[in-house]
Amino acid sequence: MRGDELGQRSETVRRANLAAIVRQLHARGPQSRSTLVSRTGLTRSAIRGLIGELAAAGLVSERAPAPLGTPGRPSPMVRLNPERATVLALEIAVDSLAAALVGIGGRVVAIDRVDRQRGHTSVEEVAADLAELARRVVPAGHDPATLVAIGVAMVAVVRRDDGLVAMAPNLGWTDVPLGARLAAALGTRIPIVVANEADLGALAEHRRGAAVDVDDVVYISGEVGVGGGIIVAGQALTGVAGYAGEIGHMPLNPNGLPCHCGSVGCWETEVGERALLRRAGHPVDGGGRAAVDAVLAEASAGVPRAREALAEVGRWLGTGLAGLVNIFNPELVVLGGLLGRIHPYVAATVAAEVHRRALPAPRELVRIVPASLGVDAPLLGAAELAFEPLLADPAAWLGARGVVPELASA
Amino acid sequence: MRGDELGQRSETVRRANLAAIVRQLHARGPQSRSTLVSRTGLTRSAIRGLIGELAAAGLVSERAPAPLGTPGRPSPMVRLNPERATVLALEIAVDSLAAALVGIGGRVVAIDRVDRQRGHTSVEEVAADLAELARRVVPAGHDPATLVAIGVAMVAVVRRDDGLVAMAPNLGWTDVPLGARLAAALGTRIPIVVANEADLGALAEHRRGAAVDVDDVVYISGEVGVGGGIIVAGQALTGVAGYAGEIGHMPLNPNGLPCHCGSVGCWETEVGERALLRRAGHPVDGGGRAAVDAVLAEASAGVPRAREALAEVGRWLGTGLAGLVNIFNPELVVLGGLLGRIHPYVAATVAAEVHRRALPAPRELVRIVPASLGVDAPLLGAAELAFEPLLADPAAWLGARGVVPELASA
């Protein structure tokens, strides 16, 4: 091996090590150098040098820890500076629009959510409303040079390569280049990444919610429709073009109701919001959080039709989950959105149905829990997605900003 | 970075580069040094040195290529020596037992398959029969030092870590440590790896069959039961314990037939061998290849009941495939076993049902094809699995054999 090859390898290794440190701090918060040594496998001296570089670039700070009363010199605590690198997260949900400014390390600087009318809306209108929301969450003195990227979560089938919105039935959109439209509305040239809201909910729950440290996860986001975000061996399941995870459209009842997708008896026709409202004898049009809460209140008060509606949704939920348990052998199933909210009412029914239908080997290993980040999971996942380029190569990002020229040399 | 760290890194890089070369040659056959340069991204001089090491260890040979009539010195062809490293592959199928001796690079030295009676059988009996088969395929003068490992494919739910057969309904086995039983029957201490036959069928089709160069694949193995082997981003989907891919037990027909797994209306109750025979008016007990061939012969001759039986199986096959297309967004679906054999009879029906039920975005990207390795796909997959330790680190394997001491020093 020639010297220059070794030199290139060494530089590649250094950049990968910087990335490992930043990713650790981003995912797990402030920690001592000793902890970084044990988690990254790097030597103490390597950690010291790399932290020095990141501190010089302003991305991390060190401070002495509180004395622990243990012998030996305490290791300084290393933390990311959330104001040094930020992302704008946006969400287009069925009933609302949302925006958040998030600093590296996951600190939410500002967050805002506004209701929107259900139904078809033009891209221009949504983009304008999101631009208005974005202005609200970005404070006046915010340094645009710190903005890494913009992430957008959306109830839609989204192509991975370019964020093309292939199909958003709630809005009536087909093949919309949303990133470009948003860039125009926001008047920005910052990179914009768009992804499916269930995929992003899974990402957020995996990094900061119910699924931290769990590498095989099925996250199910249920509202009007049902979507899935699936983590396989720690990585998001995307499929060949990013469309994977449309578990709401598993055919589960071939003699069931027509689905808006054109098929019949998809899972979401049995466990989505409309199924619950219909079975409870409530109007299915309109819907939304208040309508579902009314059913839950009736069930709590012992109204038989509401209780039976929830039991029926629970049986279908368990039936579909049994299939997913058999297919994915997940360690954890996380129920988000509507399905997380009804979880306390249906948990026993779901467990019984999964027990009846799933194979013993995978069934004995799975836990089914509600999402822990609630309604904001997809928005927080959009922030995580937007941070990815920085996390993958912090040296390149810092270098490109010209703040630390020596980091750009590689 | 200290000198000894750089030295360790350099050694790690060298071993990874050896592995990259061996894996290339194993997967894609003999090729020139120039091709290896372009496929591995290594420099010409690095390739020369590494090939030299592998040749000294006897694992590869080089020979001058036939003149091409093009100017310049032709690059020598590099090939693996299949007799230098071999694996024993075994298979326990519903209707047969099989064994093969396979050399590195995928050369099948010998292969044998014998019918077995369907139904429950003791582990000891199967192990003894497999040991007998193994003796037939391993030639008298075979050097045991060349044997890398033994791979076993089995119609069963198999735990990844240790190859425990959690459930093999066709044989009536539960929680059987098959590897240990086989080691005793074979009188060997060679590592034995056991895996699900559909997972191994997928591996074989991915490496040498219909799914070469395709990274998102759903392989479906259908006989009496229906199993799946799923490739996600080029890697096998295992789930948390190796049980993933049991797509035959997706609940698809809530009013369907009882399944042997204890659930009702699983996909395999509608598309497995029994479903076809029952619908065609043939006896479902016994079954096997001849019984299915009889239905196909009737369909070819225009017997309405056989044709309608195939159409009905095709509709259910398409329904389940639509769900898998929505869940996985695969580039390719490969139909193995029974489902591969009936493919010509049901392709149009399947395509129509997938068109009706799958979302347009993923549906437009998927191709559905029969398996190209036929009945031996799982057996060949078992050979591939057994080669993995060698492919992952050829230096360690060669070093451990003491043949090339300098390779053991690392």
Write the pLDDT tens digit of every residue in A93-110: 988 999 999 999 999 999
Average confidence (pLDDT) over B148-157: 95
Given this model, what pLDDT does residue B409 score? 33
Contact state of B243 with A362 under an 8 Å Cβ cutoff: yes
Given this model, what pLDDT does residue A64 score? 72
Closest CA–CA distance from residue A154 to any residue of chain B (Å): 16
Buried b / exposed e across B238-271, counting CB within 10 Å, b at 16+?
A: bbbbbbbbbbbbbbbbbebeebebebbbbbbbbb
pLDDT in tens, A185-217: 999 999 999 999 999 999 999 999 999 999 999
* Cα–Cα distance, A302 to A295 (Å, whole number): 11
Confidence check: pLDDT of A409 > 50? no
Confidence check: pLDDT of B179 > 90? yes
Report the residue of chain B nearest A325, measured CA to CA.
B244
pLDDT band at B4 (very low <50, low <70, confident <90, very high): low
Report the residue of chain A nearest B261, measured CA to CA.
A359
Of A13, A320, A322, the CB nearest to B263: A322
Given this model, what pLDDT does residue A1 score? 45
Assess: ipTM above 0.85: yes
Given this model, what pLDDT does residue A255 score? 86
* Cα–Cα distance, A301 to A319 (Å, whole number): 27
Confidence check: pLDDT of A379 > 50? yes
Per CATH, B86-200+377-400 and B210-372 having the same topology is answered yes
Q: Locate B205 and state its tokens.
A: 């089709």
Query: Would you kindly state where each structural domain of chain B is located, as residue ranges?
Result: 3-81, 86-200+377-400, 210-372
Pairing of strands B173-176, B165-168: antiparallel
Q: Tokens 């034995």 sit at which residue?
A: B192
Contact B33, B78 (CB under 8 A): yes
Of A10, A238, A249, the CB nearest to B326: A249
Given this model, what pLDDT does residue A313 score? 98
Range B86-200+377-400 classified under CATH 3.30.420.40: yes
Q: Tell me the chain B residues in contact with residue A241 when contact means C-beta distances shorter than 8 Å.
A: 329, 361-362, 365
Given this model, what pLDDT does residue A69 score? 61
Confidence check: pLDDT of B405 > 50? no
pLDDT in tens, B93-146: 988 999 999 999 999 999 999 998 888 899 999 999 999 999 999 988 888 889
Helix (H) or strand (E) holding A73: none
Name the CATH superfamily housing domain B210-372.
ATPase, nucleotide binding domain (3.30.420.40)
DSSP B270-325: HHSHHHHHHHTT---SS-SHHHHHHHHHHHHTT-HHHHHHHHHHHHHHHHHHHHHH
pLDDT in tens, B23-60: 999 999 999 999 999 999 999 999 999 999 999 999 99
Q: Tell me the chain A residues in contact with residue B44 when contact means C-beta distances shorter than 8 Å.
A: none
Contact state of A244 with B361 under an 8 Å Cβ cutoff: no
pLDDT in tens, A287-335: 888 999 999 999 999 999 999 999 999 999 999 999 999 999 999 999 9
* Cα–Cα distance, B99 to B139 (Å, whole number): 13
Confidence check: pLDDT of A71 > 90? no
Q: Which CATH code fits A86-200+377-392?
A: 3.30.420.40
Given this model, what pLDDT does residue B291 score? 93
* Cα–Cα distance, A244 to B120 (Å, whole number): 39
Contact state of B254 with A252 under an 8 Å Cβ cutoff: yes
* Cα–Cα distance, A240 to B325 (Å, whole number): 11
Given this model, what pLDDT does residue B399 score? 81
Contact state of B241 with A13 under an 8 Å Cβ cutoff: no
* Cα–Cα distance, B159 to B243 (Å, whole number): 6
pLDDT in tens, A238-274: 999 999 999 999 999 988 999 999 999 999 999 999 9
pLDDT band at A127 (very low <50, low <70, confident <90, very high): very high
Contact state of B243 with A360 under an 8 Å Cβ cutoff: no
Of A246, A319, A331, the CB nearest to B327: A246
Contact B187, B132 (CB under 8 A): no
Contact state of B361 with A326 under an 8 Å Cβ cutoff: no
Given this model, what pLDDT does residue B76 score? 79
Confidence check: pLDDT of B64 > 80? no
Contact A174, A226 (CB under 8 A): no
Contact state of B360 with A331 under an 8 Å Cβ cutoff: no
DSSP A131-181: HHHHHHHS-TT--GGGEEEEEEEESSEE-TTT--EEEETTTTEEEE-HHHH
CATH T-level assignment (fold) for domain A3-81: Arc Repressor Mutant, subunit A (1.10.10)
* Cα–Cα distance, A256 to A124 (Å, whole number): 36
Contact A200, A223 (CB under 8 A): no
With pLDDT > 70 as the criterion, what percentage of chain A qualifies?
A: 93
Under DSSP, the state recorded for B264 is: B
Compute, in degrees rounded to 10, the torsion defined by CA atoms A174, A175, A179, A180: -110
Count of CB pairs separated by less than 8 Å, A with B: 179
- Closest by CA position to A126, among listed A194, A199, A227: A194
Confidence check: pLDDT of A65 > 80? no
Contact state of A250 with B326 under an 8 Å Cβ cutoff: yes
pLDDT band at B71 (very low <50, low <70, confident <90, very high): low
In the predicted model, what is the mean pLDDT of chain B?
A: 91
pLDDT in tens, B257-273: 999 999 999 999 999 99
- Closest by CA position to A225, among listed A195, A257, A193, A198: A198
With pLDDT > 90 as the criterion, what percentage of chain B qualifies?
A: 80
Report the residue of chain B nearest A233, measured CA to CA.
B239
Contact state of B319 with A167 under an 8 Å Cβ cutoff: no
Given this model, what pLDDT does residue B406 score? 38
Report the residue of chain B nearest A44, measured CA to CA.
B1
Given this model, what pLDDT does residue A285 score? 83
Confidence check: pLDDT of A405 > 50? no
First vs last C-alpha separation in chain A: 20
Average confidence (pLDDT) over B348-374: 96
Q: What are phi and psi of B62, to 5 degrees?
A: -120, 145
